[in-house]
Structure 1
Amino acid sequence: MVDTGVAGIKLFRATQSVPCAPAVYEPCVIAIASGAKEAVLDGARYIYDQSRYMCCPISMPVMAGTPSASEGNPLFGVFIALNPRIMSTLAIEMENAGAAIPSSDRRTISSEQGIRLARWDNAFSDSLLRILKLGGNDVDRIVLEEARLRELYYAILKGEAGQFARTAFGAGNAIARSIAHVSANLGEGISIDEMAGRAGLSRAVFHRKFKQATTMSPIQFVKSMRLNKAAMQIAEGMTVSEAAMDVGYLSPSQFSREFKRLYGQSPRQWGDALQS
């Protein structure tokens, strides 16, 4: 990852194949300029390249990799973090300006889960190029950064994944708010009743709506988020015990059992394999 100087915008490259491994996608768009990238969510594979970008408007535990990257076929891409404040403001402004999502479409969108691929269009390409150009001039970046971010986010919200993203960031999306709270507090005790209460829903309704949005039950989601984050931290050099504690596991043996059940290796074996 290489910082561009613009908040939330990074460039990345890969010159070797990387098998899909545990990851946590925070709200983001990933655009590929050359090569292809892959994400797997609950068994569904999403492969995206220079013809389609990936939109993930809520935090999701996934498997991600670059299976086709090589020296002769390098991967180049742009990571775009989605600022919830700006995205929510734009979604509400679009709604107030008369661009409301019809209730029939809203029901269809609510059944889509976690990730959506969208075709590059001219508005997205132009606004992405304009914001990347800011990295070369500090004055331009300071003066224009937020305006260019709004332009890029607006292009996303108007694009093929736009209604999907607007549903996540629009007013009243209780599931998205609940997921944002979970993502920010993985090290704390998280109960399903607390999540449902934060969303303002009964436990039964919350469970049903949550599974519609993420493919997982709330308990499965929290566990996957914790284990994926711990796997990433171990890959970055954190000890197994530190990673377990950081994501809220009080029992190292429970952490090891659940880690091995999900990934087929103990946390120590996982770490050792990455270092070999």
Structure 2
Amino acid sequence: MARQAAKQPAKRTSKKPVPQTKVGAKTSNVLVLSRKSLAVIGRNWRFFLWFMVVYAALNILLVHNFVSDVGSLRDQVQQLFGGTNQALTNTGTYVLLVANQSSASGAAGVYQYMLMIVGSLALIWAIRQFMSDNPPQSLRVRDAYYEGLYPLATFVLVLVVLALELLPLIFGGTVYSLVVTGGVASSGFEQVFWGLVFLGAIMLSGWLILRSIFALYIVTLPGMTPIAALQHAARVTSGYKLNMVRKFVFLFMIFAILSAIVMVPAIAFVPNAAQTVLFTLGLISLPVVHSYLYTMYREQVGE
């Protein structure tokens, strides 16, 4: 009997590489988090510079979504506001430029989303290497694109889940618009009620997104499935959502303020270069956002 037991092969178990989460892991404040994430880019600036050059070339080749005449666009906004407030006119033009930058149509729109997904995967792979225990001295952009694309299918599936989590926001906004513009909510009480319903839809979508956002980084681990990544992301963010909201709001405000500081004078004094300046800001924002979010994720899993 003992010999038979010894001859029996050990059962193999396959486990997904789910990272261990340290409960109660201490996270940095927004200033320290920003400094850490920017330090990653600063130490490896050559890689990120060449990444932005390649990404810009692909965007210009495949998307090239530029406004032909920013000056005429500013004139239209100026007529809309009566031409009395130049600061308001330049700010309105800036908002329209941002909307145009992110709303390419047709084949250009498809290429824009594809490039963003591919670029994000390459950046996530590179940032993970740079923030590992044994970071490489240098990386080639080619290697980041080659090595980072293997979880493309699972990454897209997680993106689909995130898009579905926006449905409460979209549905709530549609209902609120129909009720208010259609005259259904005529009294102040009814408008407040439907406004609260819309606010609830916003909060629901926001809670779902916060619960799942780190799955974009977890799913890029070897052997990880979308469901396992979403489950682990929910555990990672449990109890940290208010802290995450503060950090997301800080990131959004910093980008909005800095881009406005750069763009509003550009529109006012060099309108022909405004679109190029906005395009450059968009190139810079992609690695900065991913470095910020990945640093936040590492802190919350206690790495």
Q: Which bin holds the TM-score, normalised by the shorter protein? A: under 0.3
- More strand by percentage: 1
Higher relative contact order, chain-length normalized (CA < 8 Å, sep 6+): 2
- More helix by percentage: 2
Q: Could you state the TM-score of these two structures normalised by the residue count of structure 1?
A: 0.27
- Please say which structure displays the higher CA radius of gyration: 2
